[in-house]
């Protein structure tokens, strides 16, 4: 049974990545990467960073959503969300 301890965490992260990939292909039809921070993925990453301290599977879902976006998109947002989670973890 100890092997299944983090199964929910992995499943939620994988589902978040798949949904993030699907949604980002609908949001971005252009083949190039814009070098700017988008507000919606940033908010999702910050929510995920905050929730990962409270309830890890749900936080990993939101972080996975941003990390799993189309290649080149969501990089800055996911880094900001992870740094936010680390700051909260140290503060608490």
- Identify the helix (H) or strand (E) that includes residue 47: helix 39-54
Which pLDDT does position 28 carry in this prediction? 81
Q: What is the pLDDT of residue 36?
A: 82
Domain residue spans of the chain: 38-92
69 three-class SS: coil
In the predicted model, residues of the chain with pLDDT beneath 50 are none
- 77 touches 45 (CB < 8 A): yes
pLDDT score for 35: 76
Q: What does pTM read for this prediction?
A: 0.87
Give per-residue burial for 29-65: e unless 16+ CB within 10 Å, then b: eeeeeeeeebeebbebbbbbbebbeeebbbbbbbbbb
- In this prediction, residue 63 carries a pLDDT of 94
pLDDT at 73: 84
In this prediction, residue 50 carries a pLDDT of 93
* Residue 44 pLDDT: 95
């Amino acid at each position: 049974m100890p092997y299944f301890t983090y199964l929910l965490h992995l499943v939620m992260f994988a589902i978040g990545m798949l949904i993030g990939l699907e949604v980002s292909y609908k949001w971005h039809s252009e083949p190039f990467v814009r070098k700017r921070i988008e507000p919606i993925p940033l908010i999702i990453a910050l929510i995920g960073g905050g929730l990962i301290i409270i309830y890890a599977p749900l936080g990993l879902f939101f972080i996975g959503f941003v990390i799993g976006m189309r290649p080149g998109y969501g990089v800055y947002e996911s880094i900001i969300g992870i740094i936010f989670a680390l700051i909260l973890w140290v503060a608490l």
